[in-house]
Structure 1
Amino acid sequence: MPYLWVAIGGAIGSVARFWLGNAMAVAVGAAFPWGTLLINILGSFVISFFGGLTGMGHRFALPYEARIFVTVGVCGGFTTFSSFSLQTVELARTGQPGRAALYVALSMIICLAACAVGVWAASAINQSVGARAA
């Protein structure tokens, strides 16, 4: 049954990634992979925030199946590290090494920051809810 939850979540995440990537390309153009960057930032935040709120021993603990539905399924289908890698190589291959380096730097720095913010936000919510319950 866990595989079914991952598959359903993955389908949802993949469709969301496809939609958002296309929406960003229409909105700002396709010269730079802004959609993939945004997707990876959002995915980094969501996986850490959700994990921080719903893990075992946390205030909003959820069953294993619900956690893997979101983290492995939805976030796994939504985030696009493989697309990021290919787009970086293509930028470099087509004579745009500066853009390739910028893309790598922005992806690493902002996604790690989004993940840290997700952990911080989940911890703050867990503490505030715990304080109210006491």
Structure 2
Amino acid sequence: MSANDRQTALRLYLAVGCGAAVGSLARFLCGYVIVSLLGLSALLATAFVNVVGSWVIMFFATMTRPDGRLMVGPAGRQLVTGGFCGGLTTFSAMSLDTFILLLGGDLGLATTYLVSVVVLSLASAWLGYAVAIRISR
């Protein structure tokens, strides 16, 4: 591997790591606000970050694709998509929440929660795409 390739790889690693740190902190703060300050369910905090993250990743990916409006290099794309959105969203917490509900015998709420978060996240991603396409015209 050449020195230039190592520098490029290091730049990508740092971008993902920094983005993930900011995304994870944002997820934590969203949870704090939703649960501690607003007194709402932790399920809503997890759902919120997944739905918002789905919008952000699709909007950004659409805006920065080769024919998109924003010219962003590989490190910038990975900072937002792999780093920030990867740190913000949390499939593992959604899985844990669902299993806790199942283990507690609440099959109805577990099913409703899981299906709702997935459907809302996909709808949010579609909306992010639609908004980005509209802006790019």
Q: TM-score, normalised by structure 2?
A: 0.88
Aligned equivalents of 1:28 and 1:124: distance in 2?
A: 37
Aligned equivalents of 1:69 and 1:62: distance in 2?
A: 10
Instruction: Name the counterpart of 1:131.
Output: none
Aligned equivalents of 1:73 and 1:60: distance in 2?
A: 18
Change (3 A) 1:29 1:58: closer
Amino acid at match of 2:23: G
Aligned equivalents of 1:17 and 1:80: distance in 2?
A: 9
Residues matched between the structures, number? 126
Equivalent positions of 1:75-86 (< 5 A) are 75-86=85-96
Instruction: Name the counterpart of 2:131.
Output: 121
Instruction: Name the counterpart of 2:4.
Output: none
1:64 aligns with 2:64: no
Aligned equivalents of 1:10 and 1:74: distance in 2?
A: 5
Instruction: Name the counterpart of 2:58.
Output: 48
1:14 aligns with 2:24: yes
CA RMSD, 1 decimal: 1.0
Aligned equivalents of 2:115 and 2:48: distance in 1?
A: 14
After TM superposition, where is structure 1 displaced by more than 2 Å over at least 4 residues in a row?
none
Q: TM-score, normalised by structure 1?
A: 0.90
Deviations 1:13-38 (A, max 9, x none): 001001101211121333x5100000
Aligned equivalents of 1:3 and 1:60: distance in 2?
A: 22
Amino acid at match of 1:23: V
| Residues 56, 62 of structure 1: 8 Å contact kept | no
Please state whether the residue corresponding to 1:95 is helix, strand or coil. coil
1:95 aligns with 2:105: yes
Unaligned ranges ≥5, structure 1: 128-134
